[in-house]
Amino acid sequence: EADIYQTPRYLVIGTGKKITLECSQTMGHDKMYWYQQDPGMELHLIHYSYGVNSTEKGDLSSESTVSRIRTEHFPLTLESARPSHTSQYLCASSAQGRTGELFFGEGSRLTVL
């Protein structure tokens, strides 16, 4: 079944650790996105990608980085996690020509101690 998957769902780590949040989709979508959302707050776009080898920074500045080596995979990496990175990270994808119709994963909730 076509879907978008995020792992891990929950992660608690110490300051200074390197972490990678995985996002994979089997929707066949070209566009993928990472949003950051604090509880009860709005979604902030931090990264997006048009396709393979294409990545752009979003509206909210983030110390994270992303890569898009394969169409279906869009991982997000934090080289050195800090408590300020504690948040929920949502991955989404959309089809070509249907930019506003996003399909979201279940999210990865990161807590940095």
Instruction: With contacts defined by CB under 8 A, name the span among 7-15, 18-26, 30-38, 69-77 that binds other proteins.
Output: 30-38
**Contact residue for other proteins among 21, 78, 90, 110 (CB under 8 A):** 90
For residues 31 and 96, the answer to whether their CB atoms sit within 8 Å is yes
Confirm or reject binding of residue 56 to other proteins (CB under 8 A).
Answer: yes
Q: 36 and 57 in contact (C-beta within 8 Å)? A: no
CB 48 within 8 A of CB 36: no
Q: Is 42 in the site for other proteins (CB under 8 A)?
A: yes
- 74 touching other proteins, by CB under 8 A: no
106 alpha-carbon distance from chain centroid: 11
Is 31 a binding residue for other proteins by CB under 8 A? The answer is: yes
Q: Does 72 bind other proteins (CB under 8 A)?
A: no
Q: According to CB under 8 A, which one of 21, 66, 81, 102 is a site residue for other proteins?
A: 102
Q: How far is it, in rounded angstroms, from Cα 104 to Cα 113?
A: 27
